[in-house]
Every structure is written in structure tokens, then in C-alpha cells.
């Protein structure tokens, strides 16, 4: 077994190239704010600009196929890019975009050649950013119960309905969504998956007032919206994976969102809290010397390490093409539940200073306060903790002989 | 990055699994559990002759001298049964103690005897106050003309009844701690098996014995013992992972076959929750252990990972058995069903080589939480 990435000379050479490029291309003033809803439009536009530059080098979605505008790079180069972006406090892509990792993968698996040629280069080059539109007021955990309709009308579909907890601030060029294409059809066989241009007539976007908008994406989404479709006309060629086959298309991005992709990044909030407790004075010695705080910090550490190892395992499995069973939802379940435990332990150690973003009294410039809220919100996107357990049970085959298979990936 | 086992390691795994399944059947394990002397069984003799237990003994002493990862694969498979000791005691901790502290002559003598099964060398470390810290060694070895005089009561000695020799820790007059290899049969040593839920534990009473100078391992020190115990604890973790894996499989199977209210009980989400907790604990133990093994075998600093793995794995084995009891309800407590073999092992091993609390304290120091 080898848990560490060993970097070849080729990779180190690539790292030097990446560092130099980032040094001269990353603009000033686009740092991640403590609360992602504080990201300004100016900062966002600068990040998009950076995304396009990265995209033109094949570095925005480095592992995506070159044929469709991705980098076509192996995992060894993708890792270097992710690490170097992480070092300067940015993620890849440097803004909220669920297209490259999730929606794009569904198009890769289920789209026609023509659709792949049309949509994927736009995504992988950073010319468009896309949002996922899945949940509805009546379709949360029961996603297959979506009521948004798509009715065929000549060469188009007419879409009506509403989607909730959508996207981020500042709009998107495409919205990918799952709709009902046959209201009388059998469950799971009555859905259609669409790529909808964000500027289509009849789309209304209203921001939601939420405790926190931080979600699955490392970039932080800033804000979540309700999106209304009012007789929105979409060309039939934007239907991916045939009419009534939308659930299959969705299983691909749901699988990835359920944690199957894995991650190799460190948990920076844990690094921050350790550093803070070691260096901050409390009754004449460091916070971390207090036995109670020490115990809580150890709980945090163990949770973070186990979570890191689950993500690392999945990352390795994904990049070696191993077949998944329950590992995706397990990593997701653990990340969500341990995330909340970590936040609660931090609250116990720090007391009310963990709860304020006040300039004078907050810890780590408000990052800790934002994390307190985000840890609660993070329990639910991409499937609640209970849904993750349901999926795990089916995959393991608890109480059943036939084990459910993981969604198709590319 | 490569988290898979090598082809050779996969072979070690499958052959050990086959051997353990064939030799340590439930009936054999239940019989051993009753008469409490694993070494006396035919199966133990066969296990010795396979050489599997010699995974840590270097080839110059007749062993297989492989990597810790190779050894862990064997210990994990022993843990599945669970095959009772003396393996963690004699073939992990004693081997590491001897390798760390013995001079060449002592290593040659004792390691080859362990290797060929002529000796069962069992560490008897803490005195009346049980624990794995230096402070718990209260007994003193007094220098005499002929050697040393030792008198103490060593408590909660795992596999003590199986011993032919003990490794006894005692304070020396120069303030350091010495480790003596002492034959069990000499006058003044009595060993008593501890009744109850304890798993192959005993008390060793040492009443004013005299031992010669060459019984003292020449390079004895507490630091070297702590190092030996740390390295051994990874194999304990692997053994516990094996136990967790087995009770997981047992519970999943039971969830499919046990019918209540006209449906397999695994269809109830409350039952599913236990199994999900179980598999999460199992995988946490497995991957923290694997990372520690990789660090040891590749020569990296492993202090943090060893203590992390052991605090996670001991807790996991205990919890997994408890979850399995929740899944199984009544039948799980039936001795002949086999789950209680694990439950019993998990409780005793929770403290062996230091409890999770002990390892968390060590981890805090490594992480600079001071």
C-alpha cells in the first residue's frame, strides 16, 4: 500500500509550470470570503475570467476528455493543479459550477455524440457555468417525485414548474434539470433530463433567505435560489438521454454527488482550530493545554482523519476504475455527520466567540462563525444523511439478497 | 498512491483465511474457550507449523521476517475467527521486545524458540495497578551476588496460562526499567487464570525468585519497550479489524435471513442503522490501520498514525460487537452461535497495549496539544 502521492520529475516540472502560470494570471482580491455570500460580483467576474484562462489551457477540468475540450490530463497532473489552487485558497473551478464534475459527467455517459460536441466544450473550457436544478417543494429526498413538467411541442419542450435550493449568486449560462415528461408514467421511467439555457424567456430567479448557503461545492455557492419556469421553451436537442430516461441520467451525477468522487484536500477548518487553540492564551497557558479542550480537539482530529481516509480511498478507487458499492454514500454520510460533530466540538471549546462574525470578538475573521452555520446546512444537499444510509443499506444488501449497483460513471 | 495489496499479499490473505476457516472452526473455538488453553489444541500445533506466526521474526532466526503489512494480513485473518492467543502477546509484543532489547545471543536463543514453538514467551508488564505507562511498573529487581531477586504480582497478563517464559518488567536500582526473561516453571511463580468475562487473562505471582544476570535483556529500557508496544499495537489493530469484518458479515447475513413481522429484519431502518454504524466503525479502523502500516513499512514517522489507529480500532471492535448484538438480539447471546467469542475478545483487547484513552493521550502529545 502507498498512501502518498509520489511525484515524478515530470509532475514536479509541471508543478513549477503551474505555479509560474498562476503567479502571473491569478488576479488580486479574489480571496474566498468567510461567508461565500459576501463574494462580490466584481470578484466573481474575475474568477470567471480566470476560469476561461484555465479552460483554454485545459486546466479548468484537467481530467475531462480532450476531445470535448477538457485537459485530457491524467490524475497525476490533475492532482498537482488541485493542490496548487488549494495552496492559494482557490478551488478548481474557482467558482461554483456543478457542470464539470456532475452534469458534464451525465452528458458524457448519456449524451449523443452531437450533444457531447455541443455542450461539453463550453463547460470544460469555462465559457459557461452551469447550475443543477433538482429539488422541488414536493421532491426533496424523493427526487423522483418531481412535478416540473416538460411537454413536447414540435421541435421543442415547454417547461413549467419550480426548483428550489438552486445554484449561487450571479446566474448561470445553463441550468440542468430533471423534469416529468410523462405524468402518468411509471415512477423512475417518466422523467426527462434537460440542459436549459439560462437566458431562456420565462425563467425567474428569486434568492432564498437561508441560514447558510454553503453546500457540497468547495467553492461555496454564496446564495441559493428558487427558480420558476413559466412556459419555458427548450429545443428537443437539449434533452439528454431520451424522453423518460432522465432518472438513469441523474444516477450518474447523483452517484458522484453522493461522495463517490472522493477528495484529497485537507480539512482547513480543522487546521485553523488546532492552530488557534495551540497559540491562543487561556488562563495563562494555551487553550489546547486544557484537558477538556484537548479531548474535544482529539475528537475533532479523529473525525477529520477518518473522513480524510474515506475520501482518499474513494479518490483512489475512482481514479483506478474500481467498482463502487457503498463507499460513495458512506463518505458522504461520514462527512456530513462528522462535520456537524466537529462544529459542535468547536462550539464547546470556543463558546460564544464561535458564533459571531463581529470584527472584534470573532475567531479567525469569521470563518469559525460561518462554519457553525454551514455544518448544519451541509447535512442535506446531495441527499440527506438518512438518504445516504438508505443507499448504503441497498448497496450492502442489508435485509436483501440483491445488492443495488452504483450509478454509471465515466 | 496505491491502496491495494500486492499479489503476494493477496495470496497470504487467502491462504491464511482458508487455513483459519478449516482449522479454527466454531466447534474448535468453543472448545478452546471452555478449557482456556489454546496451545493445547491440535489446531494451534498446525498453526505453528505453517510458520504464519513467525511473520515478524527475521529469517536469520528462522522466521519469515516480512513487512508489518504482511504480518497484519495474518493477524487480521486470525482476528476473524477469532483465534485466541498467544499470538499478539508472544508473536507480536514479545518478538518486538526481543528485537528491540535483546543482545545477539538472547535474540538467537529466544526468537528461534518462539519460531519453532518450543517456547511461549509472554510479557508480564504491569504490577497491581494495571496500565501501560512507566508509572505502573512498581516492582523492583534487587541486585544479588548471583543475579537479581524479584518479587511482585503481575496483573491482567494476556495469555499468561500459555506461557513457558515470562518477560517481566522491573525497576532496576539505577532507576531504569529492566526486562527479564524468566522460565515459568521456576519455584516461586504461580499463575492463576482469571475467571469471568476476561479473555485468556491471568495473574502471575512472583514470590522472591532469584534469576541470573543473563535473564536481563541487555538493552532494556522503557523507551524501547514503548516502541515495541507501539509497533505491536498496529497488529492488534489489524486483529481487531478482522474481528469487526467478521461480525459485520455475520450481521448482514442475519439481517437477510431472520424473518420477523413477515419480512427480513434488515428491511427495518432501525436495524439498518446498527449495520451502518458497524461498517463505518469497521472501515474507520481498517483505513487508519492501513495508513499506520504503510508509514511503518516505508520508514515514515508513524507516531500519530499508530495511536490514531489503535484508539479507533479498539473502540471499533468493542462497538461493532455491541451493534452486532443489537442486530441479533437473543440468538447473539447464545454461546454456540459464536458472536460472544468476539464480544469477549473485544472487551479484553480494548485495554490491551493501552486503552483508547491511553492512545488519545499519546496522540495529544504527538499533535502538540500541550
Give the domain CATH number at B248: 1.20.140.10
Last residue of a domain, one of B215, B234, B250: B215
What is the pLDDT at residue A225? 94
Comparing C-alpha atoms, which of B70, B130, B63, B67 is closest to residue B90? B63
Contact A1, B294 (CB under 8 A): yes
B109 and B126 together in one domain: no
Last residue of a domain, one of B75, B91, B115: B115
pLDDT-derived band at B296 (thresholds 50, 70, 90) equals: very high
Contact between A389 and B3 using a beta-carbon 8 Å cutoff: no
B233 and B352 together in one domain: yes
What is the pLDDT at residue A217? 43
What is the pLDDT at residue B199? 94
B11 and B108 together in one domain: yes
CA distance B14 to chain A (A): 17
Q: Is residue B180 included in any domain, yes or no?
A: yes
Reduced to 3 states, what is the DSSP secondary structure of residue A313? Answer: helix
B43 and B101 together in one domain: yes
Ranges of H-type helices in A240-288: 246-255, 268-279
pLDDT-derived band at B370 (thresholds 50, 70, 90) equals: confident
Mean pLDDT of B191-202: 94
Contact B227, B233 (CB under 8 A): no
Chain A residues near residue B363 by CB distance under 8 angstroms: 298, 301
Q: Is the pLDDT of residue B222 over 80?
A: yes
Taken in order B215, B218, B224, B228, the sign of the CA dihedral is negative
Structural domain total, chain B: 3
B309 and B211 together in one domain: no
pLDDT-derived band at A221 (thresholds 50, 70, 90) equals: low
Contact A265, A86 (CB under 8 A): yes
B181 and B243 together in one domain: no
Ranges of H-type helices in B214-355: 222-257, 269-297, 303-328, 339-349
Mean pLDDT of A72-77: 85
Closest CA in chain B for residue A307? B284
Contact between B252 and A396 using a beta-carbon 8 Å cutoff: yes
Q: Model confidence over B316-359: pLDDT tens digits?
A: 999 999 999 999 999 999 999 999 999 999 999 999 999 999 99
Q: Is the pLDDT of residue A214 over 90?
A: no
Ranges of H-type helices in A111-236: 113-124
pLDDT-above-70 percentage for chain B: 100
Q: Is residue B62 included in any domain, yes or no?
A: yes
Mean pLDDT of B71-80: 98
ipTM of the complex model: 0.96
Contact between B1 and A401 using a beta-carbon 8 Å cutoff: no
Q: Where are the beta strands (DSSP E) in B87-146?
A: 121-124, 141-143
Contact A1, A309 (CB under 8 A): no
B20 and B89 together in one domain: yes
Q: What is the dihedral of CA B127, B132, B136, B139, to 10 degrees?
A: 50
What is the pLDDT at residue A218? 44
Reduced to 3 states, what is the DSSP secondary structure of residue B283? Answer: helix
Contact A330, B279 (CB under 8 A): yes
pLDDT-derived band at B226 (thresholds 50, 70, 90) equals: very high
DSSP, residue by residue, A16-52: HHHHHHHHHHSPTT-PPPSSGGG--HHHHHHHHHHHH
Mean pLDDT of B61-73: 92
CA distance A323 to chain B (A): 13
Q: Model confidence over A337-375: pLDDT tens digits?
A: 999 999 999 999 999 999 999 999 998 888 899 899 999
Q: Is the pLDDT of residue A241 over 50?
A: yes
pLDDT-above-70 percentage for chain A: 97
Q: Model confidence over A317-344: pLDDT tens digits?
A: 987 888 899 999 999 999 999 999 999 9
Closest residue to B275, CB basis, from A277, A396, A400? A396
Chain A residues near residue B308 by CB distance under 8 angstroms: 301-302, 305
Which residues from A are below 8 Å from B when comparing CB atoms? 1-6, 274, 277-278, 286, 288-289, 294-295, 297-298, 301-302, 305-306, 309-310, 312-313, 316, 320, 326, 330, 333-334, 389-390, 392-393, 396-401
**Mutating which of A80, A395, A399 best tests the B interface, going by the most B Cβ atoms within 10 A?**
A399
B278 and B354 together in one domain: yes
Q: Rounded to an integer, what distance in angstroms lies between the CA atom of residue B343 and that of residue B247?
A: 9
Closest residue to A330, CB basis, from B3, B264, B283? B283
Q: Is residue B83 included in any domain, yes or no?
A: yes
Comparing C-alpha atoms, which of A369, A371, A366, A308 is closest to residue A342? A371
Q: Is residue B1 included in any domain, yes or no?
A: no
Q: Model confidence over A111-157: pLDDT tens digits?
A: 999 999 999 999 999 999 999 999 999 999 999 999 999 999 999 99
B228 and B343 together in one domain: yes
What is the pLDDT at residue A256? 82
The residue segments making up the domain with residue B286 are: 222-366
Last residue of a domain, one of B167, B183, B215: B215
Chain B residues near residue A334 by CB distance under 8 angstroms: 280
Q: Model confidence over B9-51: pLDDT tens digits?
A: 999 999 999 999 999 999 999 999 887 778 888 999 999 999 9
Mean pLDDT of A235-255: 93
Taken in order B184, B189, B195, B198, the sign of the CA dihedral is negative
Contact between B293 and A316 using a beta-carbon 8 Å cutoff: no
B333 and B318 together in one domain: yes
What is the pLDDT at residue A207? 93
Contact between A326 and B279 using a beta-carbon 8 Å cutoff: yes
Chain A residues near residue B269 by CB distance under 8 angstroms: 389-390, 393
pLDDT-derived band at A177 (thresholds 50, 70, 90) equals: very high
Give the domain CATH number at B178: 2.40.110.10
What is the pLDDT at residue B35? 78
Comparing C-alpha atoms, which of B20, B110, B12 is closest to residue B57? B110
Q: Is the pLDDT of residue A249 over 60?
A: yes
Q: Rounded to an integer, what distance in angstroms lies between the CA atom of residue A221 and that of residue B132?
A: 50
C-alpha cell at A275: 492552530
Contact between A2 and B370 using a beta-carbon 8 Å cutoff: no
What is the pLDDT at residue B36? 74
Q: Rounded to an integer, what distance in angstroms lies between the CA atom of residue A376 and that of residue A380?
A: 8
Comparing C-alpha atoms, which of A125, A150, A144, A141 is closest to residue A54? A125
Chain B residues near residue A310 by CB distance under 8 angstroms: 283, 287
Contact between B256 and A400 using a beta-carbon 8 Å cutoff: yes
What is the pLDDT at residue A215? 53
CA distance A321 to chain B (A): 12
What is the pLDDT at residue A367? 87
Crossing angle for the helix pair B222-257 and B339-349, to the nearest 10 degrees: 150
Q: Rounded to an integer, what distance in angstroms lies between the CA atom of residue B80 and that of residue B17?
A: 9
Average pLDDT in chain B: 96
Q: Is residue B2 included in any domain, yes or no?
A: no
B309 and B288 together in one domain: yes
Closest residue to B368, CB basis, from A278, A389, A398? A278
CA distance A165 to chain B (A): 28
Q: Rounded to an integer, what distance in angstroms lies between the CA atom of residue A175 and that of residue B56?
A: 59
Contact between B291 and A2 using a beta-carbon 8 Å cutoff: no
Q: Is the pLDDT of residue A21 over 60?
A: yes
pLDDT-derived band at A216 (thresholds 50, 70, 90) equals: very low
Contact between B363 and A301 using a beta-carbon 8 Å cutoff: yes
Taken in order B112, B116, B117, B119, the sign of the CA dihedral is negative
Which is more confidently placed, A404 or A17?
A: A17
Q: Is residue B293 included in any domain, yes or no?
A: yes
Chain B residues near residue A401 by CB distance under 8 angstroms: 256
User: A96-110, A214-228, B272-286: lowest mean pLDDT where?
Assistant: A214-228
CA distance A299 to chain B (A): 9
Which among A200-214, B33-47, B112-126 has the top mean pLDDT? B112-126
Q: Is residue B158 included in any domain, yes or no?
A: yes
B255 and B341 together in one domain: yes
Give the domain CATH number at B35: 1.10.540.10
**Mutating which of B72, B283, B323 best tests the A interface, going by the most A Cβ atoms within 10 A?**
B283
Which CA distances in Å does B352 have to B127, B228, B316? Answer: 14, 13, 14
Q: Rounded to an integer, what distance in angstroms lies between the CA atom of residue B320 and that of residue B278?
A: 5
A37-66 burial, b at 16+ Cβ within 10 Å, e below that, comes to: bebeeebbebbbebbeebbeebbbbbbbbe
Reduced to 3 states, what is the DSSP secondary structure of residue A240? Answer: strand
Taken in order A354, A355, A361, A367, the sign of the CA dihedral is positive
Q: Rounded to an integer, what distance in angstroms lies between the CA atom of residue A240 and that of residue A120?
A: 12
Q: Is residue B195 included in any domain, yes or no?
A: yes
Give me the residue label for grid cell 425563467.
A203
Amino acid at each position: 500500500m502507498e498512501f502518498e502521492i509520489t511525484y515524478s520529475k515530470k509532475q514536479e516540472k509541471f508543478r513549477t509550470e503551474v505555479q509560474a502560470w498562476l503567479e502571473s494570471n491569478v488576479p488580486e482580491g479574489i480571496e474566498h470570503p468567510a461567508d461565500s455570500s459576501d463574494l462580490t460580483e466584481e470578484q466573481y467576474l474575475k474568477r470567471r475570467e480566470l476560469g476561461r484562462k484555465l479552460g483554454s489551457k485545459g486546466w479548468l477540468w484537467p481530467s475531462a476528455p480532450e476531445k470535448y475540450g477538457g485537459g485530457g490530463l491524467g490524475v497525476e497532473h490533475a492532482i498537482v493543479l488541485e493542490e496548487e489552487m488549494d495552496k492559494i485558497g482557490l478551488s478548481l473551478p474557482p467558482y461554483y459550477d456543478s457542470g464539470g464534475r456532475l452534469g458534464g459527467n451525465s452528458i458524457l455517459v448519456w449524451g449523443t455524440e452531437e450533444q457531447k460536441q455541443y455542450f461539453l466544450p463550453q463547460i470544460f473550457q469555462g465559457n459557461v457555468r452551469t447550475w443543477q436544478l433538482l429539488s422541488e417543494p414536493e421532491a426533496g429526498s424523493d427526487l423522483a417525485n418531481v412535478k416540473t413538467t416538460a411537454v413536447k411541442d414540435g421541435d421543442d419542450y415547454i417547461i413549467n414548474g419550480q426548483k428550489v435550493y438552486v445554484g449561487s449568486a450571479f446566474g448561470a449560462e445553463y441550468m440542468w434539470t430533471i423534469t416529468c415528461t410523462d405524468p402518468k408514467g411509471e415512477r423512475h421511467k417518466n422523467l426527462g433530463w434537460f440542459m436549459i439555457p439560462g437566458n431562456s424567456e420565462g425563467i425567474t430567479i428569486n434568492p432564498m433567505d437561508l441560514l447558510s448557503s454553503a453546500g457540497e461545492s468547495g467553492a461555496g455557492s454564496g446564495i441559493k435560489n428558487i427558480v420558476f419556469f413559466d412556459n419555458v421553451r427548450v429545443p428537443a436537442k437539449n434533452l439528454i438521454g431520451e424522453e423518460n430516461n432522465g432518472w438513469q441520467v441523474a444516477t450518474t451525477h447523483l452517484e458522484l454527488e453522493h461522495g463517490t468522487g472522493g477528495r484529497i484536500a485537507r480539512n482547513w477548518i480543522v487546521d485553523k482550530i488546532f492552530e488557534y487553540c495551540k497559540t491562543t492564551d487561556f488562563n495563562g497557558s494555551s487553550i489546547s493545554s486544557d484537558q477538556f479542550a484537548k479531548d474535544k480537539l482529539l475528537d475533532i482530529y479523529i473525525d477529520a482523519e477518518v473522513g480524510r481516509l474515506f475520501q482518499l480511498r474513494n479518490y483512489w478507487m475512482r481514479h483506478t476504475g474500481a467498482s463502487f458499492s457503498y463507499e460513495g454514500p458512506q463518505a458522504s454520510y461520514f462527512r456530513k455527520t462528522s462535520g456537524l460533530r466537529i462544529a459542535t466540538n468547536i462550539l464547546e471549546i470556543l463558546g460564544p466567540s464561535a458564533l459571531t462574525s463581529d470584527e472584534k470578538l470573532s475567531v479567525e475573521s469569521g470563518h469559525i462563525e460561518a462554519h457553525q452555520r454551514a455544518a448544519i446546512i451541509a447535512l442535506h444537499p446531495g441527499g440527506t444523511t438518512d438518504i445516504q444510509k438508505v443507499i448504503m443499506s441497498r448497496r450492502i444488501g442489508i435485509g436483501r439478497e440483491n445488492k443495488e449497483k452504483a450509478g454509471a460513471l465515466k | 498512491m496505491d491502496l491495494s495489496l500486492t499479489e503476494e499479499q493477496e495470496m497470504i490473505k487467502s491462504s491464511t483465511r482458508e487455513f483459519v476457516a478449516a482449522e479454527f472452526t466454531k466447534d474448535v473455538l468453543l472448545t478452546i474457550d471452555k478449557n482456556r488453553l489454546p496451545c493445547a489444541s491440535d489446531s494451534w500445533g498446525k498453526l505453528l507449523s505453517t510458520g504464519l506466526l513467525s511473520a515478524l521474526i527475521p529469517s536469520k532466526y528462522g522466521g519469515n521476517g516480512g513487512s508489518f503489512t504482511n504480518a497484519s494480513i495474518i493477524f487480521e485473518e486470525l482476528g476473524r475467527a477469532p483465534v485466541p492467543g498467544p499470538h499478539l502477546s508472544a508473536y507480536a509484543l514479545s518478538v518486538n521486545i526481543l528485537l528491540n532489547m535483546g543482545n545477539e545471543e538472547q535474540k538467537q536463543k529466544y526468537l528461534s524458540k518462539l519460531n519453532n514453538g518450543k517456547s511461549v514467551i509472554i510479557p508480564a508488564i504491569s504490577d497491581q495497578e494495571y496500565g501501560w505507562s512507566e508509572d505502573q511498573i512498581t516492582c523492583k529487581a534487587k541486585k544479588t551476588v548471583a543475579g537479581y531477586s524479584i518479587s511482585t504480582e503481575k496483573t491482567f497478563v494476556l495469555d499468561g496460562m500459555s506461557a513457558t517464559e515470562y518477560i517481566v518488567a522491573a525497576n532496576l536500582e539505577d532507576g531504569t526499567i529492566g526486562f527479564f526473561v524468566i522460565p515459568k516453571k521456576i519455584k516461586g511463580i504461580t499463575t492463576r487464570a482469571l475467571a469471568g468475562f476476561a479473555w485468556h487473562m491471568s495473574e502471575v505471582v512472583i514470590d522472591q525468585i532469584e534469576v541470573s544476570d543473563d535473564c536481563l535483556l541487555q538493552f532494556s529500557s522503557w523507551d524501547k519497550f514503548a516502541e515495541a508496544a507501539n509497533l505491536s499495537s498496529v497488529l492488534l489493530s489489524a486483529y481487531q479489524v478482522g474481528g469487526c469484518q467478521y461480525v459485520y458479515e455475520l450481521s448482514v447475513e442475519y439481517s437477510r435471513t431472520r424473518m420477523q413481522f413477515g419480512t427480513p429484519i434488515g428491511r427495518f431502518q432501525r436495524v439498518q442503522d446498527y449495520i451502518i454504524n458497524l461498517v463505518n466503525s469497521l472501515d474507520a479502523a481498517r483505513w487508519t490501520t492501513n495508513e499506520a502500516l504503510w508509514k511503518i513499512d516505508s520508514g515514515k514517522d508513524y507516531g500519530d498514525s499508530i495511536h490514531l489507529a489503535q484508539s479507533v480500532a479498539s473502540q471499533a471492535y468493542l462497538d461493532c460487537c455491541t451493534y452486532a448484538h443489537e442486530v441479533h438480539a437473543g440468538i447473539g447471546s447464545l454461546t454456540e452461535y459464536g458472536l460472544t467469542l468476539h464480544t469477549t475478545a473485544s472487551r479484553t483487547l480494548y485495554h490491551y497495549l493501552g486503552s483508547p484513552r491511553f492512545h488519545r493521550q499519546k496522540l495529544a502529545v504527538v499533535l502538540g496539544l500541550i
